[in-house]
Amino acid sequence: MSRALYRGVSGIGGKLAAADEAYAYYDPKEPSENSIGGGFGRGGARKRHLADAAVKVGVLLLVAAALVGSVAWAGTLYAGRGAAARAAAAAAHRGYRRLQEQLVADLLDIGELAGGGARAKEAEVCPPEYEDYVPCYYNVTDAVDVSDLGAGVAISYDRQCTRDGRVTCLVAPPRSYRIPVRWPSGKGFIWKDNVRISGHEFSSGSLFKRMMVEEDQISFPSDAHMADGVEDYAHQIAEMIGLRNEFNFNEAGVRTVLDIECGFGTFGAHLFERDLLTMCIANYEASGSQVQITLERGIPAMIGSFATKQLPYPYLSFDMVHCAKCNIEWYKNDGIFLVEVNRLLRPDGYFVWTSNLNTHRALRDKENQKKWTAIRDFAEGLCWEMLSQQDETIVWKKTNKRDCYNSRKSGPELCGHDPESPYYQPLNPCISGTRSQRWIPIEYRTTWPSQARQNSTELDIHGVHPEVFADDTSSWDSMVRNYWSLLSPLIFSDHPKRPGDEDPQPPFNMLRNVLDMNAHFGGFNAALLKAGKSVWVMNVVPTDAPNYLPLIFDRGFIGVQHDWCDAFPTYPRTYDMVHADGFLSLQKNHKHRCSTLDIFLEVDRILRPEGWVIIRDAAPLIEAARSVVTQLRWDARVLDLDIASDEKLLVCQKPFLRK
């Protein structure tokens, strides 16, 4: 039985058929211009049925031939042999039978996967209220009109993924949705109708939760977010750390930053220009979502909460954690939220906290004094050093000395059971990572961009042999070149021009937000950057795969652990490309804990219209997967990688469904 991706919603069934009729393909180009060669396009139903029938018949014939062959071969082994020969023959036969049984099981798996496309019709389109649907979170839009919410009302809920019931429809874009503005122009403005806003976003929330709305777009001028602008704010933080300016962050060992409730990503957008990679996290929000708008701008973000569970990152992964008026009540629950920050910070990493609570005026209030004193005491109990305070901003530095924890008068205990990468486990009130080989102060680490290559000593910490790593790097450099050769110019040059559109402006970047479903060492990410592509990659390590997420972070990249039988913590239409290498094989080896169709439906949800999916895997699994993706209305084509390789490439493009 397949595992559901979505929480069940009553009363949906009768709406699906009507909703499906209201949508059509948006295809402003001729077929030859709208696909990667003649292999794309939706074939007729008759051809698909004939192909599916041929696959089924072929599987049955192969299974029958394998079984008949085994009987005949066994007869020849035993005929006219002595006792010793017969014993040897019996042992050989048992080994052969094991191989044969595996072959039959594989063939039946492939047949079941391929047969799914024949048994099921194309997926229907969800009703309009599912335009911003986020599984695993309560979607308030299903219950109330967001415009009725009062100003300043924050709707947020913990992640709760259930397997009871599922929504198996395609989440279509809003009626006025437009293809996002391409990077780097998209950093400064987005199309208003691509995101859900209600109005209260303009005056509440984070330090950087400000925007300017014009007729059909939202702009984010960097100097409008603070009295002195984001550049001066970043410069101030650098000086408080002891640096000349923000251009020196890398030299001080700062590369990865976790931005808690980042507003709309303005701080991360600025740091990106300084070679820093910022991950924004914020609660699920029904309207004015910080995560949705930040991703629309092309800045890394995902839904995450400090409420009750640990974030799905390894300990000792970020060089800086930033909170600018992020509404986290750090003084509560015996400082457990600060303990989680401590878990994520590397030794000598920085916690930057900007809050109205830090002003002299606020501290005149006795209740505020108690809160501030509690936070200060919790920080001292974690062996943090307060480096500096200027106006509303305080910078703490995590200790690099393990023995500090033994000399404290008070504070959290060291963790006994200390998993490196907890997956949405309850917040743990103890100090993690002190026994790890990755306990290395940030100033002693290799700086960016050299850290992406990792030397033999660094690789040894992760149990990776340098030759294996070098082969992986070389393979991905070659593979990315092949991708560009196969898919250019459609993806990687200028945007396909539509009637009435103006000529695209350089640098014609079609891709910005990329998700790798099975990241392994992060080689795909490294190869994209080496090739000079202006992309960022969400490196996802499946929970049932070898966990190299700590290595990915140590290379200066970002990523997350994820169970692909659950929904990914993001909003619909947030990625330009989804990539998967060996993912189908991984799922097959784990006996298909959930259906391939369910996983691909989730990929469709997070993929932007006209976005791309690239899947590299064993040829039989690729051929079978193609029959599944046709249910999603994707244009799909199978490409051969190498004559000597048994792997193939499945390249798909999601259509633009219009109401």
- Looking at residue 181, what is its pLDDT? 87
Gyration radius from the chain CA atoms = 27
Which of the pair, 308 or 99, is modelled with greater confidence?
308
Confidence of residue 1 (pLDDT cuts 50, 70, 90): very low
Model confidence pLDDT, tens digit, residues 356-407 = 999 999 999 999 999 999 999 999 999 999 999 999 999 999 999 999 999 9
Structure tokens at 352: 């930057």
- Looking at residue 545, what is its pLDDT? 96
Structure tokens at 150: 């009062």
- Looking at residue 489, what is its pLDDT? 53
- Looking at residue 213, what is its pLDDT? 82
The residue whose two tokens read 């040897």 is: 88
- Looking at residue 144, what is its pLDDT? 43
Q: Where are the beta strands (DSSP E) in 252-359?
A: 256-260, 277-282, 301-303, 318-324, 345-354
Look at residue 84 and tell me whether its pLDDT is greater than 60.
Answer: no
The share of the chain scoring above pLDDT 90, in percent, equals 59
- Looking at residue 277, what is its pLDDT? 98
Which of the pair, 488 or 511, is modelled with greater confidence?
511
Q: Are 135 and 6 in contact (CB under 8 A)?
A: yes
Structure tokens at 74: 């066994």
Structure tokens at 622: 């690729």
Which of the pair, 623 or 42, is modelled with greater confidence?
623
Q: Are 169 and 124 in contact (CB under 8 A)?
A: yes
Confidence of residue 143 (pLDDT cuts 50, 70, 90): very low
**What distance in Å separates the CA atoms of residue 209 and residue 243, rounded to the nearest whole number?**
27
- Looking at residue 377, what is its pLDDT? 96
Q: Are 514 and 577 in contact (CB under 8 A)?
A: yes
- Looking at residue 165, what is its pLDDT? 61
**What distance in Å separates the CA atoms of residue 195 and residue 174, rounded to the nearest whole number?**
9
Question: Which of these ranges, 287-291, 471-475, 520-524, has the smallest mean pLDDT?
Answer: 287-291
Model confidence pLDDT, tens digit, residues 442-468 = 999 999 999 999 999 999 999 999 999
Residue 426's alpha-carbon distances to 336, 422, 577, in angstroms, are: 11, 9, 32
Give the side-chain half-sphere CA count within 13 A for 131: 17
- Looking at residue 287, what is its pLDDT? 80
Confidence of residue 480 (pLDDT cuts 50, 70, 90): very high
Residue-wise burial string across 13-27, b where 16 or more C-beta atoms lie within 10 A, e elsewhere: eebbeebbeebeebe
Q: What angle do CA 70, 76, 78 make, to 5 degrees?
A: 100
Look at residue 416 and tell me whether its pLDDT is greater than 80.
Answer: yes
Question: Which of these ranges, 3-17, 97-111, 258-272, 518-532, has the smallest mean pLDDT?
Answer: 3-17
Confidence of residue 483 (pLDDT cuts 50, 70, 90): confident
Confidence of residue 622 (pLDDT cuts 50, 70, 90): very high
- Looking at residue 50, what is its pLDDT? 56
Task: Give the total residue count for the chain.
Answer: 659
pTM: 0.81
Model confidence pLDDT, tens digit, residues 180-217 = 988 888 899 999 999 998 765 554 444 455 678 888 89
Structure tokens at 262: 């980042």
- Looking at residue 132, what is its pLDDT? 92
DSSP assignment letter at 168 = -
Which of the pair, 179 or 221, is modelled with greater confidence?
179
Task: Share the mean pLDDT of the chain.
Answer: 80
Surface-to-core class of residue 71, CB atoms within 10 Å of its CB (0-12 exposed, 13-18 middle, 19+ buried):
exposed
Model confidence pLDDT, tens digit, residues 21-53 = 445 544 433 333 333 334 444 444 444 455 555
- Looking at residue 642, what is its pLDDT? 75
Look at residue 229 and tell me whether its pLDDT is greater than 60.
Answer: yes
Section 314-336 average pLDDT: 95
Q: Domain extents for the chain?
A: 456-491+508-654
**What distance in Å separates the CA atoms of residue 303 and residue 331, rounded to the nearest whole number?**
23
Query: Helix, strand or coil for residue 491?
Result: coil
- Looking at residue 52, what is its pLDDT? 55
**CATH class, range 456-491+508-654:** alpha beta
How do beta strands 189-191 and 217-219 pair? antiparallel
The residue whose two tokens read 């593979």 is: 479
Q: Are 581 and 520 in contact (CB under 8 A)?
A: yes
User: Please, what's the largest Cα pairwise distance for the chain?
Assistant: 102
Look at residue 12 and tell me whether its pLDDT is greater than 50.
Answer: no
Section 276-291 average pLDDT: 92
**What distance in Å separates the CA atoms of residue 218 and residue 176, rounded to the nearest whole number?**
14
**What distance in Å separates the CA atoms of residue 278 and residue 259, rounded to the nearest whole number?**
7
Q: Which of 606, 605, 604, 658 is nearest to 635 (CA)?
A: 604
Model confidence pLDDT, tens digit, residues 491-506 = 544 444 444 445 444 4
Question: Which of these ranges, 189-193, 219-223, 246-250, has the smallest mean pLDDT?
Answer: 219-223
- Looking at residue 659, what is its pLDDT? 58
Section 457-483 average pLDDT: 95
- Looking at residue 491, what is its pLDDT? 58
Q: Which of 648, 577, 578, 654 is nearest to 616 (CA)?
A: 648
Question: Which of these ranges, 184-198, 272-286, 423-437, 484-498, has the smallest mean pLDDT?
Answer: 484-498
Look at residue 602 and tell me whether its pLDDT is greater than 70.
Answer: yes
Section 473-490 average pLDDT: 82
